[in-house]
Structure 1
């Protein structure tokens, strides 16, 4: 069983916009999703490398971050561990969502100062 303790989130400001990179295991680029305001809502554009599944997570994460932060956000994710079972995949999803929520909470706290 994998520990997944090397999964991390790195935030890179790009002017008003934000790039969030989430990697773990054998880091790579598996998918990228950009969320941005359009009209009354938030649109998301996603690109995935064939054979990779990270887009299942990046689209929702980018939309959530863009909504909370009121800015354009791109989430790039590449997480690879060999021979994962369904439980481990679910655990990776939980870890990445928790990392995003922790980072968003920290960002909101810093903005309110």
Structure 2
């Protein structure tokens, strides 16, 4: 599997940003919101029971908010049947690359 259907969709919401990351059978598995509190970024994460996307969204939202200097919510839902550990790592790498590319092309620095 190459996971070529993984995608990141950005929805600007005023100054804030919603990022949807999906692949395979799209759904809502987890959502993380990173926001500025004083001079640091805080993150709130919720996940649907039985889903593991929160292991990615928490750090990804923190990184996006830090780099983009705005509140960012990442909603992720990725599902493929019968994945092995190497495939899970590949999905993690690909989703992080999607975020890196988005940040690089949208950074205000």
Q: What is the TM-score with the length of structure 2 in the denominator?
A: 0.97
CA distance in structure 1 between the aligned counterparts of 2:33 and 2:68, rounded to whole angstroms: 13
CA distance in structure 1 between the aligned counterparts of 2:75 and 2:13, rounded to whole angstroms: 14
Specify every segment of 5 or more residues in structure 1 that has no aligned partner in the other structure, as ranges: none
Deviations 1:69-96 (A, max 9, x none): 1100000000000000000000000000
CA distance in structure 1 between the aligned counterparts of 2:61 and 2:27, rounded to whole angstroms: 18
**1:61-80 mapped onto 2 (5 Å cutoff):** 61-80=60-79
Specify every segment of 5 or more residues in structure 2 that has no aligned partner in the other structure, as ranges: none
CA distance in structure 2 between the aligned counterparts of 1:42 and 1:60, rounded to whole angstroms: 11
> SS where residue 11 of structure 2 aligns?
strand
> SS where residue 50 of structure 1 aligns?
coil
Question: Considering only aligned residues, what root-mean-square deviation do their CA atoms show, in Å?
Answer: 0.9
Corresponding residue of 1:44: 43
Runs of 4 or more above 3 Å deviation = none
> SS where residue 5 of structure 2 aligns?
coil
**1:33-112 mapped onto 2 (5 Å cutoff):** 33-108=32-107, 111=108
CA distance in structure 2 between the aligned counterparts of 1:51 and 1:3, rounded to whole angstroms: 24
CA distance in structure 2 between the aligned counterparts of 1:104 and 1:72, rounded to whole angstroms: 13
**Count of aligned pairs between the two proteins:** 109
